[in-house]
Structure 1
Amino acid sequence: MTGIEAVTLEKAIVHKVGNPTRGEELKLSANTLTLNDEIVRGLLTRYFLAPFNEHELYHFTHISDLDMNEVYSYAKNIFEDPSCFQRESVFLAQLLYNKSTHARVKEGELYVVLFDKVLFEGEEKKALGIFKSETKETFLKVFSHGQGWEIAAEDGININKLDKGCLVFRTDQNEGFKVCVVDNTNKQQDTQYWVTDFLQVQPFTNSYHHTNQTLGLCKLFIEKEYAEKFDISRTDQLEMMGRSMEYFKSREQFNLQEFAEEVIHHPEVVDTFMDYKRNFEANRNFAIDEDFDINLTAVKKQAKVFKTVLKLDKNFHIYIHGRRDLIERGYDEETGQKYYKLYYEEES
C-alpha cells in the first residue's frame, strides 16, 4: 500500500486470542495502547498497512442479511461512534475466539486499529484494521553489562511479516464496505477460518479480480491437470505458460473462446480446461466472466509467478519464450543422460 507516511493511527488495542479446543484463554484488554512514541507508532503503521494490495478488494457478505455479518456490524458501529471502539474490539475478539476451534489455529495477538487519512482510490479515507499475529521469532538482544556486553534471546514479532489482516475502508457501506485481506498462514482449505468463518468476505468481481483469477486458473491447470491428463513434457507446459501470459500482455479485452482457440488449441484440451474452470469456480464460490477488460496491474502481479524457465539439474536454466519446435529432447545411451538440442539463428 502506498502513502503510508501520511496515515494517522488514531486508536489501537490488543487482545490475546487462544484456541478454545486446546484450553487456551481469551484475554481481553480494558484499555487502548498509549503509543506516545512516534517511532513505535510509525513502525506499527507500516507493519499493519504495507502488506496490503489495494487493487485486490473484497466486501462483507451474509447469506440472509448483511447486518447479520458480525464483523461488518462492529466496523459500522466504530465508524459511526468511535467512542465505542474498545467495546466493539472486545466483541471482535470474542467472535474470533469462537471461530478459532480448528486444530491448526494458533494462539496470537489480535490488534484492532482505527486509522485516518488512508489513501484509497485517490482519496483519504477512514479505515478500521483488524490484524492477528501468530508467528513468533527469536531475536538476539545485545546489552551492556559491567565493562562489556552480553547477549540474550527474546521471542517477538517480525514487523516485516504480517500473518493475518483485514483493512475496512469507510466507503460503500451498503454493499458491505470495501475491504482488503491478508492471510499468510493456514492457507489450507480447511483452515481458512480468517476469511470464510470470521470475516465472511467475498471478492469484488471487477477487472482486477477476473484477470487475477483467470491467470491463476491457467497456471494451476497447466501445472496440474494439463500435465497429468495429457502426459506432456515440461517444455510443453512452459510453452503454454508463455502463450497464456503473452495473450494477457498483448490484449485489452479477454474473450474465453478466443483464448481457448489461440492458447490451448486442441479440442480435447479445451474441453478439459472448461471443466477445470467450472470446478475452480465452484470450489471458490465465485464465477469468472467469459469477457472482461484485462487489468494490467493484475497481469504484472501474476507475471512474477508465471515462470517459463526450464531448470536442468543445477547447471542450466533455459528461458522459453516460444517456438517449441526449435527445442528437441533426447537421450544419450552412451552417457546415460538426457539432453536438449536448441536451434537458433543468432546469439547475443
Structure 2
Amino acid sequence: MTGIDAVTLEKAIVHKVGNPTRGEALQLSPNTLTLNDEIVRGLLTRYFLAPFNEHDVYHFTHISDLELNDVYQYAKKIFDDPGSFQKVAAFLAQLLYQKSTHARVKEGELYVVLFDKLLVEGEEKKALGLFKSETKETFLKVFSHAGGWELAAEDGININKLDKGCLIIRENEAEGYKVLVVDTTNKQNDTQYWISEFLQVQPYTDSYHHTNQALGLCKLFIEKEYAEKFEVSKSDQIDLLNKSMDYFKSKEQFNLQEFADEVIHHPDVVDSFMDYKRHFEANRNYVIDEEFDIHLAAVKKQQKVFKSVLKLDKNFHVYIHGRRDLLERGYDETVGKKYYKLYFDEEA
C-alpha cells in the first residue's frame, strides 16, 4: 500500500485470542495502547498497512442479510461512534475467539486499530484495521554487561511479516464497505476461518478480481487437471503456462472462447478446462465472466507464481520462456536415462 507515511494511527488495543478447543483463554486488555513514541507508532503503522494490495478489494457479505454480518456491524458502530472503540474491540475479540475452533488455528494477538487520513484514490478516509499475529520468531539481543557485551534470546514479532489482516475503509457502506484482506497462514480450505468465517467477505466482481481469478484458474488447471488427465510432460505444462500468461499480457480484453481456441486448442482439453472452470467457481462462490477487461496489476501479481522452470533431478534447472518446438524430449536406452535436446542459434 502507498502513502503510509501520511496515515494517522489514532487508537489501538491488543487482545490475546486463543483456541478454545485446546483450552486456551481469551484475554481482553483493559486499556488501549499508549503510543507516545513516534518511531514505534511509525513502525506499527507500516507493519499493519504495508502488506495490503489496494487493487485487491473485498466487501462484507452475509448469506441472508448484510446487516447480520457481525464484523460489518461492529465496524459501522466504531465509525459512527469512535467513543465505543474499546468496548466494540472487545466484542470483535470475543467473536474471533468463537471462530477459532479449528485444530490448526493458532493462539495470537488481535490488534484493533483506528486509522485516519488513509489515502484512497486521492481522498483521505477513515479505516478500521483488524490484525492477528500468530507467528513468533526468536531474536538475539546484544546488551552491555560488566564492561563487555552479552547476548540474550527473545521471542517477538517480525514487523516485516503480517500473518492476518483486514483493513475496513469507510466507503461504500451500503455495499459492505471496501475491505482489504491479508492471510499468509492457514491457507488450506478447511482453515480459512479468518476470511470465510470471521470476516465473511467476498471480492468485488471487477476486472482486477476477474483477471486474478482467471489466471489462478489457468495455473491450477494446468498443474493439476491437465497433467493428470492427459499424461503430458513437465515441459508441455510449462509451455501451456507460458502461452496462458502471454495471452493475458498481450490482450486488453479476455474472451473465454478466444482463449480456448488460441491457447488450449485441443477439443478434449478445452472440454476439461470448461468443466474445471465450473468446479473452480462453485468452490470459491465466484463466477468469472466470459468477457472482461484485463487488469495489468493482477497480471503482474500472478506472473510471480507462474513458474517456467524445468527441474531435472538435482543437476539442472532449465528456464523455458517459449518456443516449445525447439525442445525435444526422449529416452536413451544405452544409458537408461531420459533426455532433453535444446535447439538454439547463439550462446549468450
Smaller-chain TM-score bracket: over 0.9
Alignment RMSD (CA, Å): 1.1
Distance apart, 1:65 and its partner CA: 1.6
State the match for 2:266 in structure 1: 266
Q: CA separation in 2, counterparts of 1:146 and 1:258? A: 75
Question: How far apart in 1 are the matches of 2:89 and 2:196?
Answer: 19
C-alpha distance in 2 between matches for 1:323 and 1:149: 59
Per the alignment, residue 28 of structure 2 pairs with 28
What letter is aligned with 1:11? K
SS of 1:235's partner is helix
Q: Name the aligned partner's letter for residue 129 of structure 1.
A: G
Instruction: Deviation per CA, 1:103-146: give whole Å up to 9, x if none.
Output: 11111100000011112222221110000001111111111111
**Cα separation, 1, equivalents of 2:93 and 2:161:** 21
Offset at residue 324 of structure 1 (A):
1.8
**Alignment correspondent of 2:207:** 207
In 1, the alpha carbon distance for the partners of 2:103 and 2:341 equals 51
Secondary structure (helix, strand or coil) at the match of 1:310 reads: strand
Corresponding position of 1:44? 44
Q: TM-score, normalised by structure 1?
A: 0.98
Tell me which amino acid in the other structure corresponds to 1:10. E
Aligned-residue offset at 1:333:
2.6
1:113-152 aligned at under 5 Å gives the runs 113-152=113-152
* Structure 2, unaligned runs of 5 or more: none
Give the Cα separation in 1 of the matches to 2:67 and 2:46.
31
SS of alignment partner, residue 39 of structure 1: helix
1:63-100 alpha-carbon deviations (Å, 9 max, x no partner): 12211101000101111111110011011001001111
Q: Distance in 1 between matches of 2:210 and 2:151?
A: 51
Cα distance in 1 for residues equivalent to 2:122 and 2:71: 26
Q: Which amino acid aligns with 2:28?
A: L
Percent identity of the aligned residues?
79
* Structure 1 residue aligned with 2:57: 57
CA distance in 2, matches of 1:19, 1:2: 34
Partners of 1:106 and 1:84 in 2: CA distance: 28
Give me the whole-angstrom Cα distance separating, in 1, the residues matched to 2:67 and 2:195.
17
Equivalences, count: 348
Counterpart residue type for residue 309 of structure 1? V
In structure 2, C-alpha distance between the alignment counterparts of 1:117 and 1:45, rounded to whole Å? 12
1:308 corresponds in structure 2 to: 308
Q: Deviations over 1:153-182 (max 9, x none)?
A: 111111111110000000000000000001
Q: Which residue of 2 aligns with 1:161?
A: 161
Give me the whole-angstrom Cα distance separating, in 2, the residues matched to 1:190 and 1:46: 30
1:172-187 → structure 2 map (5 Å cutoff) = 172-187=172-187
TM-score, length-scaled by structure 2: 0.98
Q: How does 1:101-112 map to 2 (within 5 A)?
A: 101-112=101-112
One-letter amino acid of the structure 2 residue matched with residue 179 of structure 1: V
Q: Hey, what does 2:14 align to over in structure 1?
A: 14
Separation in 1, partners of 2:112, 2:322: 49
